[in-house]
Amino acid sequence: MLADAVTDVLVIGGGPAATWAALEAAAASRRVTLVDKGYVGTSGAAAPTGVGTWFAPTSAERRVAAERRAARSFGLADAEWTFRTLEESAAGLDQLAGWQYPFPHDDRGRLYTPNLRTADYMHFMRKRVRAAGVHVYDHHPALNLIVADGVVCGASGIARESAAPWSIRAAAVVVATGGCVFGERVQGAAGLTGDGYLMAAEAGATLSSMEFIGQYGIVPFKTASNKGLIYTWATFMREDGSTIEDRGEDRQLLVARALADGPVYARFDNVSPELQRQLRDGQPNILLPFDRAGIDPFVQRFPVMLRCEGTVRGVGGIRLSDESCATDVPGLFAAGDAASREKMTGAISGGGGPNSAWSIATGRWAGRSAAAFAARVGSRHETRRGAAIGSARLQPAAIDVVKAEILPLDRNFFRTRRSLERSLAQLDAAWTGLRSTSIVPGIAALHAREAAAMTATARWSYSAALARNESRGIHRRLDAPATDPAQAHPITVSGIDTIRVGSDTTTVRKALAS
């Protein structure tokens, strides 16, 4: 089916950013093909969760929100870029309303667009994408980009069910493959192995802010449900029942510190019966784990743990050159969690809300830019003889090394130069010592590429973390606790076997024109 296909714009990925990109490229009258490792509708970090998209109703309020957000970004965000993200995302939500997405009405009878039930949203986006004439290939993981004369012009991969190889030539490619959670057991993790980072870096793309992966979500013990919202109302306590005092730090830090001394429990206190009912009706997946375990979390305490959210709720990814969502490689565009988000979130997590806005905005920008690029290329790409690039494949055992070096709180959440160096040595050893020695056939090829992508992402992250000799946002260096004003710029990484670390001092942070 996809043995040797041709399209104008190829979108790799199946979450919000990918579907928005596909819709915008199709709206620009380009032929669009979307390939996803999973299933468009359930793929990605967003689909299982439910998000309140960061939103402000008017442009004036968006400017204020962008300035406020940039002010607490630890010096890395760009208020102008953030403002335009909010503008573009609001336009996307308006479009969803125009398409009759079933938004609720608030108690004043007005359509309420900032909240998206993501299972419904992604089901809806799948229908829109197909109605727009986009060719959708589920369970068709991309493994390699195709490059000709330094220009990205397609991708190749395998079909899961048949294990048959596929390749497709395209005038432009959008990577919207999501982030990387390093094998952590969180919802969405199946797709989030950093595949897009690896493919982009192999083509020569630069990544940025990869050190900011020290983001963890609180989950009921052993569950994968990293729904943060409800912990607004949580009281945290120790085994002996004593309350862990909230000293105004973020909740994850509070819990991370306490977990070093023993088990931590939570209970949702002070939630009125009315709010409990609204949570039950509006966010059933928050209460699902409790209902199935026979716990009333408003009355009974329950044990909690922290799960790593990597670049999904962290920051890093493929560096964007500007709001066209172009990367450093011609023909290659990036969107959503696959793209570095520091221009909006700075050195802290974007959480669900800003990240949802980011996925809509960058998806739309990338789709439009890729369509424009494809229009300029015309039909020339159809006869281009490109070659699939990228040969990094690791044995599945490498994933165990990645999990051991990235997931523990005392390696990634709290860092020291020594621990980072030790972890990086382990990861480098896995990179060279666990290479797949032969060409792996069938579906094992996917697993070998996933292992390579996760290990590469871990190496980039700790290489960047070692270069940032300070603490800033979710990069917490116990041996360098202060924030150094001289390091208020993004750190970039590139390269596969040899990693080059640089500073993005060319980034000029613009103040908003008032």
Q: Where are the alpha helices (DSSP H) in 294-416?
A: 310-313, 342-345, 352-377, 397-406
Other beta carbons within 10 angstroms of residue 95's beta carbon come to 16
Please state the closest distance from residue 502 (CB atom) to another protein, in A: 35
Q: Is the dihedral of CA 44, 50, 55, 57 positive or negative?
A: positive
Residue 291 parent element (H or E): helix 284-293
Please state the closest distance from residue 298 (CB atom) to another protein, in A: 14
Smaller CB separation from another protein, 272 or 506: 272
Do residues 363 and 335 make contact, with C-beta atoms less than 8 angstroms apart? yes
Please state the closest distance from residue 161 (CB atom) to another protein, in A: 9
Smaller CB separation from another protein, 161 or 421: 161
d(CA 448, CA 146): 19
Please state the closest distance from residue 462 (CB atom) to another protein, in A: 25
Smaller CB separation from another protein, 73 or 187: 187
Smaller CB separation from another protein, 33 or 43: 43
d(CA 380, CA 5): 15
d(CA 180, CA 101): 29
What phi and psi, each to the nearest 5 degrees, are found at residue 104? -80, 165
Q: How far is CA 208 from the centre of its chain?
A: 13
Interface residues with another protein (CB under 8 A) are 14, 37-39, 41-44, 47-48, 50, 52, 55-57, 101-107, 112, 114-115, 117, 119-121, 123-124, 138-139, 160, 185-191, 219-220, 222-225, 229, 232, 275, 278-285, 287-289, 291-293, 353
Reference 428, options 498, 486, 482; nearest CA is 498
Smaller CB separation from another protein, 39 or 414: 39
Instruction: Look at the block and give the residue holding tokens 């909690």.
Output: 304
Do residues 189 and 24 make contact, with C-beta atoms less than 8 angstroms apart? no
Smaller CB separation from another protein, 123 or 384: 123
- The SS3 of residue 94 is helix
d(CA 505, CA 401): 33
Please state the closest distance from residue 189 (CB atom) to another protein, in A: 5
Please state the closest distance from residue 278 (CB atom) to another protein, in A: 5
d(CA 416, CA 459): 16
Smaller CB separation from another protein, 97 or 148: 97
Reference 26, options 379, 346, 435, 364; nearest CA is 364
CA angle 207, 217, 291 (to 5 degrees): 140
Smaller CB separation from another protein, 311 or 471: 311
Reference 3, options 136, 169, 147; nearest CA is 169
Do residues 147 and 154 make contact, with C-beta atoms less than 8 angstroms apart? no
Smaller CB separation from another protein, 136 or 171: 136
State the DSSP string of 467-488.
H--S-BTTB-BTTS-S--GGG-
Please state the closest distance from residue 416 (CB atom) to another protein, in A: 28
Other beta carbons within 10 angstroms of residue 462's beta carbon come to 29
Smaller CB separation from another protein, 160 or 384: 160
What phi and psi, each to the nearest 5 degrees, are found at residue 12? -110, 115
Please state the closest distance from residue 180 (CB atom) to another protein, in A: 14
d(CA 471, CA 489): 13
* Torsion angle, alpha carbons of 427, 428, 429, 433, to 10: 110
Please state the closest distance from residue 73 (CB atom) to another protein, in A: 19
Please state the closest distance from residue 294 (CB atom) to another protein, in A: 9
Smaller CB separation from another protein, 80 or 450: 450
Smaller CB separation from another protein, 123 or 509: 123
Please state the closest distance from residue 193 (CB atom) to another protein, in A: 11
Please state the closest distance from residue 371 (CB atom) to another protein, in A: 27
